[in-house]
Chain A
């Protein structure tokens, strides 16, 4: 058997971690660029190969129609669910999409689990390069508030990537595991997890027993559509409007310019977490530069409604755990968006307690996944995780109402039995509709599956079929039926409302292996070429700017020579040489990059590469 890892499959970034075999301490594994964060971006190269992570992220600007980000937002969702997403994100959905969304990348069509599988496979490669050994199993984290279909889609992604998914762990719970090791906390803990795309709040009880430590989740709540992306969208809409009024430039929301603006605004957002003021300088197509200073106060007033949206789930989770804010002994912050001072202040005020921020909020979920992977690999020895299902499970009854059979926040695995019989003579089927959600009407809940119990014709009420609904430790539903008259298992065919069937997964796995079979050097070459292409484009664009006049003749010549050298290297197949030439060109254009920025921001951008400006 190969190695086992923990994976945080995030909306914006994904990470892979492992637990040290000696100490059990978890660590994140760096990728080829030395960074532990792998942007959750996938691009289909015109030559048919798949590019993942940082090089794919650069292609968001150069090849937006072949590149996709935030695919996690589409996991386990149907075409009718994502109308809001389509307004805000440049997803290209294939019109043939029925229950499962299909996304167009260039000339090919993929399901969201396939795209997530490319990210998982990339992380698997990172880990294999790091260990020098095969990696075949993983614990993958999901937002606590993910429903059955979203969880199933994540598990499918793991299968397609050739990974045995030992467990799906809720992100806030994973974070608590990582912190528990770090801090040896006891008592009641709140984990506030605001990431790129999702918000989760979990209330846990940490208990020491003679057998070891138990992490018992008391309640969880959240919003699968709330995160840093919403702040970015808001900023983007706000600045779009300013530019429209001032310069009368209206740009298509998903075009290259919009992507560049978004990038600048994300950087502005990060600066405002550190400094009281920050200035946006954004070069416009008409040659002018849009300049606007933002104070932190203005920024906070703008994003306040988004941060406030976390309060309702927060209160609900506490109420479900039958606790008050003062009962919480420790508060843990997870997710990049919790770096925002406003979020920290709000959480601190709510609990009247200073939250923990010792661990890197980007890494802590992956670290916890590695801890759980280690527990599962070695068998439970001194730690046990008891998690809950975030949403109530119900079945449709007469008149479109929903009867709840497993309440939300039940410890999983959890189950419920229902007895079914026929209502009229010679009825041959009993229809069952399974749903998830808190609302009272079936149409307001999430449909998980429909199936028909087939029975032989008999007088009404004679048949007695017991159906057992079971939510497993991954939060995924299983259904089994038993004929109580014979005691025999009763076969059922369950058609999930959203999801891919097993034979499709098989096919996707095979195709995914084909993509993966390009050898390592080839992948490196593709990535190096992509990077070369992106820096060459950026350089050409920069050289067209009037600021070039500030360069010395010597500097100009050096840039020209470096460009030529990189172009020559990129035409060849030595990826190491291409990387070397990229570094040289980056070095040669440092002054040019500075010139493009006004002196005020240039200090903040010192050492930046041209492609990042």
Chain B
């Protein structure tokens, strides 16, 4: 582990020839690799509209093309500045590809850059319509833990927990479907007014929180059942 130098962003002026640069990645005047422009989000990096449905083959093609250009292997014999830039740029490229490839990660990222991702205090709260089921589940989990400690019979508890896990896994599939449908709404509203788009984002945010809550439940049950 080492400490990396921090570069400060001065977008649009080439660090090498001090010309105003046009290209996204390389200076249009001297051809040197440029710093990451602050305005460049992951969608822009891949030259894609901010849509949630992404054609995977196209995304991969673009990723591979940019990898050829930005990967540190290209800069082994270059100056320290260029090596450092290549490290920054290629790690950003890989981060972007990893994020956009994942349907859920992509929604989280979009809400993040739009300033609409709000986990807040709601994260630990059960969605109201699930309250009753969650309450029952937690009771069963407690019983199982107690039974484990006192060496009691676990069979019946296991069966009911397995059923609960199945139930919540179904709910997870359901949320994923709802997320997909909200994502389609977002893509269709690309040119809609900001109030309409904000509404869709609020819905996406709510679904993400719901999804992460249910997923935690499933993981917790799984842990106890092991």
Contacts and interface: CB of A to CB of B under 8 A. Distances in A.
Interface of A: 148, 152, 166-167, 207, 209, 211-212, 214, 216, 375-377, 379-380, 384-386, 407, 410-416, 434, 448-449, 468, 470-473, 476-482, 487-490, 492-494, 496, 499
Given A209-B65, A386-B67, A489-B6, A448 B91 contact: no
Query: Interface on chain B toward A: helix, strand, loop, or mixed SS?
Result: helix
A380 B69 CA distance: 9
Given A414-B91, A478-B4, A499-B1, 6 more contacts: A209-B61, A209-B64, A472-B87, A473-B72, A477-B1, A480-B4
Contacts, number: 106
B222 interface: no
Contacts of A380: 68, 71, 73-74
B78 to A, nearest CB: 9
Contacts of B73: 167, 375-376, 380, 384-385, 473
A397 to B, nearest CB: 14
B155 interface: no
B166 to A, nearest CB: 21
A479 B3 contact: yes
B90 interface: yes
A384 B3 contact: no
Interface string B1-34: 1111110100000000000000000000000000
Nearest to B2: A478
Contacts of B91: 412-415, 470-471
Nearest to A211: B68
Contacts of B61: 209
Interface residues of B, number: 27
Contact of B87 (A207, A470, A477): A470
Contacts of A471: 91
B3 A379 contact: no
B97 A470 contact: no
B146 interface: no
Contacts of A407: 98
Interface of B: 1-6, 8, 61, 64-65, 67-68, 71-74, 76-77, 87-88, 90-92, 94-95, 97-98
Contacts of B5: 480, 489
B2 to A, nearest CB: 5
B67 A384 contact: yes
B64 A476 contact: no
A131 to B, nearest CB: 20
A166 B75 CA distance: 11
A274 B153 CA distance: 53
Contacts of A412: 91, 94
B74 A379 contact: yes
A503 to B, nearest CB: 14
Contacts of B74: 379-380
A209 B66 CA distance: 12
B67 A434 contact: no
30 contacts: A148-B1, A166-B76, A167-B76, A214-B64, A216-B64, A376-B73, A376-B76, A377-B76, A377-B77, A379-B77, A380-B71, A380-B73, A384-B71, A384-B73, A407-B98, A411-B97, A412-B91, A413-B87, A413-B90, A414-B95, A470-B88, A470-B91, A476-B2, A478-B1, A478-B2, A478-B3, A480-B5, A490-B6, A492-B3, A496-B1
A480 B65 CA distance: 28
Contacts of B8: 487-489
By Cβ-Cβ distance, the 4 closest A-B pairs, closest first, are: A489-B6, A413-B91, A478-B4, A415-B91
A597 to B, nearest CB: 53
B11 to A, nearest CB: 13
Among B5, B68, B74, B91, the one with the most A-chain Cβ atoms within 10 Å of its Cβ is B91
A386 B71 contact: yes
Among B4, B92, B98, the one with the most A-chain Cβ atoms within 10 Å of its Cβ is B4
B1 A476 contact: yes
A207 B98 CA distance: 18
Contacts of B68: 209, 211-212, 214, 380, 384
A480 B6 contact: yes
Contacts of B64: 207, 209, 211, 214, 216
Given A214-B64, A379-B77, A494-B2, A414 B94 contact: yes
A533 to B, nearest CB: 44
A166 B61 CA distance: 28
Given A207-B64, A411-B94, A489-B8, A152 B1 contact: yes
Nearest to B69: A211
B56 to A, nearest CB: 12
Contact of B6 (A376, A414, A482): A482
Nearest to A479: B3
Contacts of A416: 95
A393 to B, nearest CB: 11
Contacts of A376: 73, 76
Contacts of A492: 3
Given A476-B1, A489-B8, A413 B65 contact: no
Contacts of A214: 64, 67-68
Among A209, A214, A380, the one with the most B-chain Cβ atoms within 10 Å of its Cβ is A380
Contact of A494 (B1, B90, B94, B98): B1
Contacts of B67: 214, 384, 386
A415 B1 contact: no
Contacts of B76: 166-167, 376-377, 379
Given A413-B72, A414-B94, A481 B1 contact: no
A537 B26 CA distance: 67
B3 A415 contact: no
Nearest to B97: A411
A416 B99 CA distance: 11
Contact of A415 (B6, B71, B72, B92): B92
A152 B68 CA distance: 26
A266 B20 CA distance: 67
B37 to A, nearest CB: 15
A211 B76 CA distance: 19
B72 A472 contact: yes
